[in-house]
A = this chain, B = another copy of it.
Amino acid sequence: MFFRFLPQNTNFFELFEKQVNFAVDAADCFKEICSKGNIDDAALNKIAAIEHQGDDVAHTIIEQLNKTFITPFDREDIHRLAKELDDVIDMLNTIVSRLKIYKITGVNKHLVEFASVIRESVGAVACTIKYMRDKKHSKELSQACVEINRLENVGDAMRDKVLAELFEKEKDPIVVIKWKEIYQDSETVLDICEDVAHVVDSILVKQA
C-alpha cells in the first residue's frame, strides 16, 4: 500500500523485514533464557549480537531515509517504525543484562509467561510488517494489530498481578527492587509492540 510513495531503489520493506526478524530472534532468545532459568555467556553474547545486527539495520533505514526524497509525514512514520522496532530489541537485551547483573538464576514461572506473551506479540508485529507489502492482506494485518493490542492488555493484567504478589509475599527489599524492574520492563516490551501496531495502523489509514 505505501509502496506507492517509496522510491524503487531503496527497499524499505526488505529492511523492515530484516529488522523485525532480529526482533523475533531476540524474543526467541529471551524465551529460551527464561525457560532455562540460567544465563550463560553464550546466551548473553547471542542476544547482544542480535541487538548489534538490529542496530545496523535501523541505522541503514535511517540513512536511506535521509538520502531519499519522500513526503514528510511518511518519513516520520518510517523513522518511528525503525525506532520502535529497535526499542523492542534493546529492551529485551536490557532485561537479559539485568538478569545477569542481579545474579538471578532459576526458573521464574511469571517471567516464563511474560516471555511467551512477548514472543507472541513480536510474532504478530512481524506479521504486520510482512502484510504491509500488499493490500490483499489488509484484513490479516488488521487482525494482527488487534492481537497485539489484546496481548498488551494481557501483559498489563499480568504485571499488576505479579507485582501485587511480589509486594505481598517477598520480604527481602533487594529482591523486590530487582523483580519489580524486571516485570515492569517485560510489560514495557508489550507497550512498545503496541506502539509499532499504532504506527502501522497510521500508515494504513493514510493509504486507504
Contact = CB atoms under 8 A, between A and B. Distances in A.
A160 B103 CA distance: 12
B174 A167 contact: yes
Nearest to A98: B163
Contacts of A76: 76
The complex is assembled from copies of this chain, and their number is 3
A66 B202 contact: yes
Grouping DSSP codes into helix (H, G, I), strand (E, B) and loop, the A interface class, with mixed when no group exceeds half, is helix
A63 B205 contact: yes
Contacts of A4: none
Interface in A91-143: 97, 101-103
Interface stretch (A13-21, A22-30, A31-39, A175-183): A175-183
A42 B20 CA distance: 42
